[in-house]
Structure 1
Amino acid sequence: MYCVENRDWEILRVLYKERNITKTAETLYMTQPAMTKRLQHIEREFGVAIVHRGKRGVHFTPQGEYLAKCADDFLKLFSKVYDNLANMQDKTQGTLRIGASYFITRNKLPEILALFKQKYPDVDFHVTTGWSRDIFNLLYAQEIHVAFVRGEYNWQDQKHLLMEENICVVCANKFEIKDLPRLQRIDYKMDYKLKELISNWWWDNFSEPPAICMEVDKSDTCREIVTRGLGYAILPSRVVDNVQDIYKINISRKDGTPIKRKTWMFYQGDFLELKIVKAFVEFIKNMNF
């Protein structure tokens, strides 16, 4: 007899969100045949049809929708039980669920996890990387213990400021702010909070749109293109701190106040009852970002 496992509930949860077999399989690092087989096993176990495949993806049956909604509750309950059991042990152990923005994941998180693991060798990690907005939503839904996000979010629970940095215009050649509308700009995919911040500054200073000639995937790629003289970019200062022979002007508001971007650690106070979360939070607070 097939027994429904945590992995099966995770399949239902992700498939309900994506409504696409291929994307779900990729998200869960499974092959499509393997995932389809698991779905068939789940249907046999409960004796109901869960999904129907169509040209525009999968469609959930009423029974399938009910099971998918139960999946969230089941997985949260399992995580809570697992956390509480680990917390009953004398030593700090268990799985720490972390969400981090792309920048933190690339530039800080590997070092953080390695150092924390040295101090607490019985701790494991489950890390989710994404845009700050998505990480914030995961924390709000209690799917992660700790979130590292960049930008301003209306978080009413516990938080710790990790760093703040200027937003600056950078170019390989000398320039003046007033010249920007006639210069070519390199843009990159960014969190909507930063995009909004830059857009507001632009329209406060100029009446015409920027001449965007290229959009790339990451801030690091954008920086490298700028250093080769192909245009200017508006970037958080940490991205270009160690770059030589580049011209940089910090942007500011009309009153002269520098425009800065903050990076935060958010967490829920209730999670501090878990030894593993309390230890990690204190560890981060003592780090120099």
Structure 2
Amino acid sequence: MDQKDWTLMKTLYEERNMTRTALKLYVSQPSLSYRLKNLEDEFGVSLFFKTKKGIEFTSEGEYLVHYSKDMLKQLQNMKDTMSHMGKEVSGVLRIGVSSNFAQYVLPKVLKDFSKKYPNVRFNVQTGWSTQVIELLNNSSVHVGILRSKRGWQGEKVLLRKEPLYLISKEKLNMENLPDYRLINYSTDSSLKDSITSWWADQFSEPANIEMEVDRLETCKEMVKNDFGFAVVPEICLKKDDGLYQQPIYLKDGTTVNRETWLMYNQSFKNLTVVDRFVDHLKEWDDNY
């Protein structure tokens, strides 16, 4: 087996589908089938079998998948260590980032970091906070920047707190919000929980949900065109949005905030590029 075989086994295990695996690996399906058949011949066992739902693995196949994951992790660790052995800060920095932070803040952060360390390259994966936690737990990324700290036992640094805002085309009577139309958007569970808790604290009536959209920016455009109001994090707002913007509070006067966390495994701080990036983010301020 080699690196290509390890990647093949890992990807097939994740996708459980030959067509999707072939597409993800940029190979033809016949080539994929041929390579898998060679692996089975090499070990003299069946590694997987087909079902109506897709691909399932035999016990031997499951074992080989775990072996492949371990080998890929060891290979990546070796590459990281070797690329950072010199005094110059260089190499690839692997970052997992929550989607909103990646869209509104990360480009500026990386640009400023690149000015300091031009020989650093970036491998960025975005997703919901739960997905970034999984990347951290699998050591698929060196650092994570996300909005919830649940599920992570490693190092955590609070980067900032930002208020949640109610946005609308015109000023609304906050006491009568259940009478207005709410526009929902797909987001991670931590933000949903914050909004749901705030609503339950303020109102006994359910929200009048007018629309469900898949993106925050789509939601903002709907609000701009007066189809309803929404509750969004400050990170996505601009002064020239042309929207009424009101921070939201609990009944006791507490501002409803959202936190941004930097997370990493302490062992990765041995890599110079990770150490420098962590320091860079610790100095992060509202200029971003």
Corresponding letter in the other structure for 1:60: F
Deviates most, 180-189 or 205-214: 205-214
Question: Unaligned 5+ residue runs, structure 2?
Answer: none
The answer to whether structure 1 residue 221 and structure 2 residue 251 are counterparts is: no
Runs of at least 4 residues of structure 1 off by over 6 A? none
Matches within 5 A, 1:188-199: 188-199=185-196
Q: Over aligned residue pairs, what C-alpha RMSD do you find?
A: 2.2
The answer to whether structure 1 residue 40 and structure 2 residue 37 are counterparts is: yes
Deviates most, 157-166 or 62-71: 157-166
Q: Which one of the candidate residues 162, 171, 174 is aligned to 1:174? A: 171
Alignment CA distance shift 1:65-1:166 (3 Å): same
Instruction: Indicate the residue corresponding to 2:235 in structure 1.
Output: 238
Matches within 5 A, 1:20-99: 20-28=17-25, 32-99=29-96
Q: Which one of the candidate residues 204, 207, 217 is aligned to 1:207? A: 204
Determine what percentage of the aligned residue pairs are the same residue: 38
Q: Which one of the candidate residues 8, 11, 16 is aligned to 2:8? A: 11
Corresponding letter in the other structure for 2:60: Q
Shift of 1:155: 4.3
Alignment CA distance shift 1:51-1:237 (3 Å): same
The answer to whether structure 1 residue 101 and structure 2 residue 98 are counterparts is: yes
Q: Secondary structure at the match of 2:145?
A: strand
**1 CA distance for matches of 2:32 and 2:228?**
46
Alignment CA distance shift 1:36-1:131 (3 Å): farther
Alignment CA distance shift 1:235-1:30 (3 Å): farther
Instruction: Indicate the residue corresponding to 2:264 in structure 1.
Output: 267
**1 CA distance for matches of 2:275 and 2:188?**
29
Alignment CA distance shift 1:43-1:162 (3 Å): same
Question: Unaligned 5+ residue runs, structure 1?
Answer: none
Q: Secondary structure at the match of 2:87?
A: coil
Alignment CA distance shift 1:271-1:45 (3 Å): same
Task: Encode CA deviations 1:210-253: one digit per residue, 9 max, x unaligned.
Answer: 12121111111111111100111111122223344322221112
Shift of 1:153: 3.1
Shift of 1:203: 1.6
Contact 2:202 2:250 in 1 (8 A): no
TM-score by structure 1 length? 0.89
Shift of 1:125: 2.4
TM-score by structure 2 length? 0.89
Corresponding letter in the other structure for 2:164: I
**1 CA distance for matches of 2:111 and 2:56?**
42
